[in-house]
Amino acid sequence: MLKFNYQLLQLLFLLLTFSFPVALSNHKAIESLLHRLDSKRALPSVQEAAAKGVLKRLLPTHLSSFEFNIVSKDVCGGDSCFMINNHNKSSQNGPEIIIRGTTGVEIVSGLHWYLKYWCGAHVSWDKTGGVQTTSIPKPGSLPLLKDEGVKIRRPVPWNYYQNVVTSSYSFVWWDWERWEKEVDWMALQGINLPLAFTGQEAIWQKVFKDFNISSEDLNGFFGGPAFLAWARMGNLHGWGGPLSQNWLDQQLVLQKQIISRMLELGMTPVLPSFSGNVPAALTKIYPSAKITRLGDWNTVDADPRWCCTYLLDPSDPLFVEIGEAFIRKQIKEYGDVTDIYNCDTFNENSPPTSDPDYISTLGAAVYQGISKGDKDAVWLMQGWLFYSDSSFWKPPQMKALLQSVPSGKMIVLDLFADVKPIWKTSFQFYGTPYIWCMLHNFGGNIEMYGVLDSIGSGPIDARVSANSTMVGVGMCMEGIEHNPIVYELMSEMAFRDEKVKINKWLESYSHRRYGKAVHQIDAAWEILYHTIYNCTDGIADHNHDYIAVLPDWDPSTNIESAGMPQVHLWYPPEDVIKALQLFLAGGKNLTGSLTYRYDLVDLTRQVLSKFANQVYIKAVTSFQEKNIDDLHLNSHKFLQLIKDIDLLLASDDNFLLGTWLESAKKLAVNPSELKQYEWNARTQVTMWFDTNETTQSKLHDYANKFWSGILQNYYLPRATTYFSHLSESLRQNKKFKLIEWRKQWIPMSNKWQEGNELYPVKAKGDALTISQALYEKYFS
């Protein structure tokens, strides 16, 4: 025992001597970075005007009720903060509240904080019900604060936003009108470190032209609009393309508008950098360059038109040359707007060897490619690889990569910290500064899900842990516009230095979201907190409900031995049915509330979809038991559920396929683009990637959506043909012919993907009436 204690003491000594100098040097480097970024910010008057612009768009009736001022960080002990005070009114119609902040983002965050906690207002995405501002008193009657006012300081410098694939799953078809709303939303949530990835293909076109690569050479390199994220990461090339010059030019103009507004509000945009992904033409122009063709990524036949991209080895001098050129070209286009650049060279692409020395050399070369273009550059990297490819990235490999750059010149996103935090098992990323992130969503799926307890406490635990290297919080969902409760709580963690008492916070949230207290709704949310929003099984939630992801399998054998695809269910469904009953009971008090309508439709969808999973299992069990009557009964019920959910979703503007398709078509400037963009939009949310005659895409339904239109016209015919084949095999007493079903279904899918039939963009029907009828039909 004495020997053990002595060894433990030695280990602790080693850890302390390792951690403190690294943590200290990184702290100084981060301080230096923050000072540099502060020096790049827009003038105070510009930021104040931008904050006023947010107020004008959010609450134009109260434009004169608030005064905004930028203040020095010295007022907050060197940190970022906002302060809310009563205004010393000198006139009847003058400002009532003064909000001061260290940047425009801080001011707008302070405005949001005041509207939430003094006026009972609520802000969410338009597609999740929008804003609730009816509870805000008229100008001249705003609630006053106590004499000392309120000061809220950021406990960590950054609030990061986006995943590298959000640009494809959510932002792809946006114009400036929609982007302006998003940047407003970011500022209200306190986001000060957003990715700015739009339009980078136009920059790459200019860079590669300097390396003698023509625009035609890039036709097979860039992916189509809906698949750009994976072309950028080197997972695929050409799929859904080529990109027209119209698209390239249009997106570059849009990027400049986005960056300009981010800067006006005091945000620091994170720009892309070179990860080694190169066009095939480069192999001919530079035959001696160390260029490797990567292996297959989720294709069915390794079709070279989109499979197996080319990676320029970071150790090749050409890597640094191209990396530098790309950074400099961005600076030329946008100005000196940031020092933080994202690069994910090894995202789902492992290095050729696990030798730590080699990995260290690679990391150093990647950083050199960035820093040659910007001497003050900091490499921001998604830490997803440490989770998704943990068998490769063991401690020696992880440490080699993280310490391959100068101290403080890398920031890691602990991407899945809400469920699988890496910081706990990596000596705080071996001294590398990191951002505690919530991943939450995959593929932009629509699913009520969350881990509220983890969100409300995890960032605090990480920040106060011994030798913490945490420098921010972040939201890294693959798709947005769902689960508004999760994103509101996560955003608040950027300003909270103590754990959140969820029960108390939840009651406040409910009252703010609907503009009033309704006891049935409060009781429903209490149930939802302990069920849907209390997932503790550690499983990454990806919606695999059988309506949206119909199992592509042969159920002829026993369910257990056949390995039937499993759906994720982490709560007792009967509890959530009770929550729905309460939600319906409270509905008469919330007539006209768009936030209530959205939540009611979403909750009813969730309940019915999980119920449909049980019906599907009964249907395939009936097939296995060769009970054709029960198969017909249950398959008919499953198909009817698809129709009923489609009818429900059609009653809310935010669950319509037509909106997605029309936003894609709106960006087209000619018939060719119109056809291409619609195919991209339809394909991403259904089959996703390539197929052949007998094999569905390996990524089919990855980005599935519960939208009216897609259920009725895609999921319903798919399930209908599948059950028809099951019935036919029982009638003929023959084995189920899975391949024959695929041969029928895949051409049907291809035809739908290539279609151009119109879908509604306006809701029809009364959501409360429809939801009540469906509850009574299935659960009374």
Encoded amino acid at 631, one letter: L
Please state whether the predicted TM-score (pTM) of the whole model is above 0.75: yes
Query: Smallest Cα–Cα separation from 111: which of 324, 259, 265?
Result: 265
pLDDT(560) > 80: no
pLDDT, tens digit, 9 for 90 and up, residues 564-612: 778 999 999 999 999 999 999 999 999 999 999 999 999 999 999 999 9
pLDDT, tens digit, 9 for 90 and up, residues 252-288: 999 999 999 999 999 999 999 999 999 999 999 999 9
Question: Could you give the C-alpha distances from 507 to 187, 502, 516, 581, in angstroms and in order?
Answer: 24, 9, 11, 18
Check residue 565 and give its pLDDT. 78
Give the pLDDT band (50/70/90) at residue 427: confident
Say how many C-beta atoms besides its own lie within 10 A of residue 88's C-beta: 8
Mean pLDDT of the chain, nearest integer: 94
Check residue 561 and give its pLDDT. 47
Q: Which two tokens stand for residue 195?
A: 């990715």
Is the distance from CB of 129 to CB of 599 less than 8 angstroms?
Answer: yes
Mean pLDDT throughout 378-384? 95
Report d(CA 105, CA 8) in Å as an integer: 46
Check residue 124 and give its pLDDT. 98
CA triplet 316, 318, 319: central angle to 5 degrees? 75
Query: Smallest Cα–Cα separation from 667: which of 683, 655, 684, 680?
Result: 680
β-sheet with 81-86: strand ranges across? 66-70, 97-101, 81-86, 150-153
Residue 70 phi, psi dihedral angles, 5° rounding? -85, 135
Q: Which element (helix H / strand E) includes 246?
A: helix 245-264
Give the pLDDT band (50/70/90) at residue 743: very high
Q: Where are the alpha helices (DSSP H) in 289-411?
A: 317-334, 356-371, 384-388, 395-402
Query: Smallest Cα–Cα separation from 521: which of 456, 452, 590, 448?
Result: 590
